[in-house]
Amino acid sequence: MSIVRAADVAKQRLTIASRRLGTHDPVHTIGGLIDRSFELPLGDPRYARNHLTPGTLPLEHSFSETASGSLRLYMQPLGPQASPLGRRQETSREMRRLVNEHYGRPALHWFDQQSEPFRGSTIHGNARFGAWFGAEYDEDGLGKTKAYYELPPGQIGELPPNLQHAAQVAMACLPGLSPVFTSLSCGRAQGAQRVFFFHKGDLRLLDLEPLMNRLGIGSQLPAVLAAVGVILGGRFVLPEGSVLIGLRDTSRGIEMRLDTLVGGVPDPPEQLPQLIEMQLGRSPQSLRAYRHWKQAMTPDAYGSPGQISVVSVRANPQTPARLSIYFRPAGYDRAPRGPRPGEIGDAYALAGGARA
């Protein structure tokens, strides 16, 4: 039996998903990065040693209410043997190439300025993953490209002034917050930066009120509580290991993002997929888009796009709670069982075929 690389399966599945969603094919722009990152065989246990999706291939997809027709992916660059510094350098190179090719030199200049403190030639000794890479595709091509840089202790001071102030407010309101990484996103019209915090200890959701009030988004607290309450089956205290909080400075004010890491919740509701659809059902358009996205991202041999890994709720002063749902894709955890790898899913149906 021939060895099937995880990269080949990932590229074929992305091609099929892009056709179903009607987006640009990611393989056209980042096929080389996928090859360099997933060159080991499908199901190789070494893939499990990562900090993006521990225990499985470090590749993730997401649906977002704010970009409902897009194909969004996140990955740990390079293979399991790569160092955190190597991943950071690879992410920076890929970002600079894509930003320059798709958005031009002014956007590249912005990215270089914003990322300079986080992409140097040395890295702190306790670094775990270094950097991750993300991209978003729509019908017109590459909509956004993202770099996630691990933050060492004390690097909050390198953030832009407004974001730095918001970060300091957050840590003052919630002493359990610890900065873990920052993301830089470049799109066709603008760039954006977000800082993420891990929350040490349990988080009572009502304890977000002082922070949200100081950030100017206190009016959105009921919507955030309602969304999390519905999806988690009435849970309003999130256990340690299940919470990330992200802050971003936007033209509408500071946006707060509350990520619930499903793997950190000891007893998530069995009806989690149905509860997510119940919450999305408040907007029929969002629910239709989500169901279409799930169908497009589900390989034929599986009943779903994969395992739900993160439920994210975001809000800003002018926009109430909006959901993003992250999935660990199905079918990358084992090698094919026989001479025909088609059992893994329909990704092989277009092997060697034309690219959309």
Closest CA to 68 of 255, 286, 326: 286
**107 inside domain:** yes
pLDDT in tens, 112-154: 999 999 988 788 878 899 999 999 999 999 999 999 999 987 7
Amino acid 354: pLDDT: 27
| Per-residue CA distances from 308 to 36, 100, 202, 274, 299 (Å) | 26, 34, 21, 12, 15
310: closest CA among 52, 9, 131, 95?
52
User: What is the spatial distance between Cα 3 and Cα 170, in angstroms, rounded to a whole number?
Assistant: 49
Find the mean pLDDT for residues 71-95. 96
* Reported pTM: 0.91
Q: CA 118, CA 230: separation in Å to the nearest integer?
A: 38
**135, 175 contact by CB (below 8 A):** no
The answer to whether position 355 is within a domain reads no
Confidence check: pLDDT of 351 > 80: no
Q: What is the chain's alpha carbon radius of gyration, rounded to the nearest angstrom?
A: 20
What's the CA gap between 301 and 278, in Å, rounded?
26
Return the pLDDT at 1: 55
Establish if 83 belongs to a structural domain.
yes
- One DSSP character per residue, 148-198 reads EEEPPTTGGGGS-HHHHHHHHHHHHH-TTEEEEEEEEEEESS-EEEEEEEE
- The predicted structure's pLDDT at residue 108: 97
pLDDT, mean over the chain = 90
Give the total number of structural domains in the chain.
1
For 321, the 3-state DSSP assignment is strand
Write down the pLDDT at residue 332: 87
pLDDT digits (tens, 9 = 90+) for 252-287: 889 999 999 999 999 999 999 999 999 999 999 999
Which residue range(s) make up the domain with 297?
A: 6-350
Answer for the pair 52, 60: CB distance below 8 angstroms, yes or no.
yes
Beta-strand relationship, 141-150 and 131-138: antiparallel
d(CA 113, CA 188): 18
Residues contacting residue 72 through CB under 8 Å, at least 6 positions apart:
61, 62, 63, 64, 134, 135, 136, 137
Q: Average pLDDT for residues 190-206, to the nearest whole number?
A: 96
Given pLDDT bands bounded at 50, 70 and 90, which one contains residue 339?
A: very low
Cα distance between residue 99 and residue 149, in whole Å: 17
68 near 23, Cβ under 8 Å?
Answer: no
Structural domain contains residue 150: yes
Cα separations in angstroms, 172 against 169, 176, 183, 209 = 5, 9, 22, 13
**356 domain residue, yes or no:** no
Q: Return the pLDDT at 28.
A: 97
For residue 1, tell me if it sits in a domain. Answer: no
Whether the predicted pLDDT of 336 surpasses 80: no
Find the length of the chain.
356
Band of pLDDT at residue 20, cut at 50, 70 and 90: very high
Q: Is residue 40's pLDDT more than 70?
A: yes
